[in-house]
């Protein structure tokens, strides 16, 4: 007979490991890194384009690859010596310590153009080596304008790498922050992708670009020779339900307190972790198979989202209610909901760490987080959605359009910071922009729906849905 888990220790494992601040600006300690099978290809130096919606891990893997210690830890776990030997350099991220910043890009663009700008950044990252002469970006931008000088510089670096048997990889992320004007951002992205593709002709030099899918849906971005090949070979960052629970186990098994009790429960289910240099990794079945994952989760959580199964099984209910219109779930929102549920359940109601009442409140908080982080990428979504507060979904398109016209939404969106590309005078274009990023879902009837992960924060109702405010 299974021993009763110590729920207080398990709750401590949750609270001491799951991030208190979901907006982590750095990658977590190596012991918490969970690598979904579908993400392994994203770390391959030769896979140049990595595509993922907000919160799926683009910046996370950028930080892991850019940090030597974390990259070596991942390379060791994957048994990939080539990844360990690759020298990585930060190319672009919205980081004030990196040059160029947005202001510098704005000043350099009229002087050299987008192609020369990215060539200059790439060469500067490779050419500036400790103890040697530092190359100024402004000088390199002028050099990069010369079609003969650029290949010469690249050949010099390539020859040195071949002699020393090393490879170099320059990393680019947060490309929606390169300029305030959407047309300029897309022009910069197109130039960067073209340069990235051109680097295939070298043996030791690569760029890796992390980008949101909506930015690639605009045809002009890849309107250059072989642009379609780059898209075809892109690696997409996605999280299955099994992956979400897999990352939860990784945190709990390596928590500062309570980890031993969690591992005891895992052993009670017939599994033992593998330990590599002090980090515990759970067996493949608990990373990929739904049934053992369900059994383990139900040792800590209410089995149902109410008195019985008519309210839904907790294991599947949680990711379902955190998904966007494309059923994509961010691990950040998943972990936020569970941490909030554990925080609220201080009395361990129901004899579990995750009680169904706390999970519902956790989903509300996760919804607020999801809208907050989405609004960082798309500041205009609040302008579009706030006038609909108090409405119920599904909602007729005519009702949405009338509301937008009454509130002057379209003109306000177009005047906002970083307005959506491709949206003009037709309100349907704004609707389609919200559909494209997964905020709205169109039914075959033409009515519009909002997944709970956005509906709750925007204050819309749904008959029989999760209540606003818990």
For residue 167, give every residue at least 6 positions away whose Cβ sits within 8 Å of its Cβ, in sequence order, or none.
45, 82, 85, 86, 87, 161, 204, 205, 206
Q: Virtual CA dihedral for 371, 65, 173, 58, nearest 10 degrees?
A: -30
Length of the chain: 470
DSSP state of 350: G
24-35 pLDDT tens trace = 556 678 899 898
Q: Which residue has the tokens 């910043």?
A: 101
81-102 pLDDT tens trace = 888 889 999 999 877 777 788 8
Tokens standing for residue 90: 């930060």
312 three-state secondary structure: coil
54-73 pLDDT tens trace = 888 898 899 899 999 899 98
What is the architecture, at CATH level 2, of domain 37-236?
A: 3-Layer(aba) Sandwich (3.40)
400-411 pLDDT tens trace = 999 999 999 999
Mean pLDDT, residues 277-281:
89
Domains of the chain, by residue range, sit at: 37-236, 240-375, 378-458
Among 143-157, 225-239, 240-254, 269-283, the minimum mean pLDDT is found in: 143-157
Tokens standing for residue 404: 């937008």
Which stretch of DSSP H or E encloses residue 169?
Answer: strand 167-172
**pTM to 2 decimals?**
0.88
pLDDT of amino acid 130: 54
- Beta strands, E only, 247-377: 274-276, 279-281
Residue 149 pLDDT level (bands cut at 50, 70, 90):
confident
Q: Virtual CA dihedral for 410, 414, 415, 421, nearest 10 degrees?
A: 160
Task: Inform me whether the pLDDT recorded for 308 exceeds 60.
Answer: yes
317-348 pLDDT tens trace = 999 999 999 999 989 899 999 999 999 999 99
pLDDT of amino acid 1: 44
């Amino acid at each position: 007979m299974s021993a009763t888990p110590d729920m207080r220790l398990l709750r401590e494992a949750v609270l001491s490991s799951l991030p208190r601040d979901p907006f982590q600006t750095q990658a977590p300690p190596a012991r918490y890194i969970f690598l979904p099978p579908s993400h392994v290809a994203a770390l391959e130096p030769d896979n140049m384009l990595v595509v993922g919606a907000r919160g799926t891990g683009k910046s996370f893997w950028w930080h892991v690859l850019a940090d030597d210690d974390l990259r070596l830890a991942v390379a060791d776990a994957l048994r990939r010596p080539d990844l360990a030997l690759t020298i990585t350099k930060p190319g672009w991220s919205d980081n004030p310590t990196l040059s160029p910043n947005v202001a510098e890009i704005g000043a350099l663009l009229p002087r050299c153009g987008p192609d020369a700008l990215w060539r200059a950044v790439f060469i500067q990252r490779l050419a500036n080596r400790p103890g040697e002469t530092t190359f100024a970006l402004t000088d390199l931008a002028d050099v990069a304008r010369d079609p003969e000088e650029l290949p010469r510089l690249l050949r010099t670096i390539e020859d040195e790498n071949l002699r020393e048997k090393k490879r170099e990889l320059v990393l680019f992320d947060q490309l929606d922050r390169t300029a305030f004007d959407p047309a300029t951002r897309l022009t910069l992205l197109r130039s960067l992708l073209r340069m990235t593709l051109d680097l295939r002709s070298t043996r030791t030099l690569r760029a890796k670009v992390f980008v949101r899918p909506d930015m690639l849906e605009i045809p002009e971005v890849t309107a250059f020779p072989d642009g379609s090949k780059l898209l075809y070979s892109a690696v997409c960052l996605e999280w299955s339900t099994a992956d979400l629970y897999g990352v939860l186990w990784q945190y709990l098994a390596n928590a500062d307190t309570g980890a031993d009790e969690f591992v005891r429960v895992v052993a009670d289910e017939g599994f033992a972790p593998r330990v590599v240099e002090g980090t515990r990794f759970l067996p493949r079945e608990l990373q990929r198979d739904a049934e053992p994952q369900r059994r383990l989760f139900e040792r800590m959580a209410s089995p149902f989202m109410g008195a019985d199964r008519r309210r839904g099984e907790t294991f599947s209910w949680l990711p379902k209610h955190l998904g966007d219109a494309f059923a994509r779930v961010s691990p950040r929102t998943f972990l936020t909901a569970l941490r909030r549920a554990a925080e609220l359940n201080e009395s361990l109601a129901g004899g579990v760490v995750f009680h169904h009442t706390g999970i519902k409140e956790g989903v509300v908080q996760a919804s607020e987080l999801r809208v907050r982080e989405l609004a960082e990428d798309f500041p205009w979504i609040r302008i579009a959605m706030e006038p609909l507060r108090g409405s119920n979904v599904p909602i007729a398109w005519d009702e949405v359009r009338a509301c937008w016209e009454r509130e002057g939404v379209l003109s306000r969106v177009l005047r906002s910071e970083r307005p959506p590309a491709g949206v003009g005078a037709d309100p349907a274009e704004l609707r389609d922009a919200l559909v494209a990023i997964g905020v709205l879902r169109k039914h075959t009837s033409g009515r519009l729906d909002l997944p709970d992960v956005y509906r709750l924060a925007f204050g819309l109702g749904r008959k029989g849905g999760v209540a606003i405010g818990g």
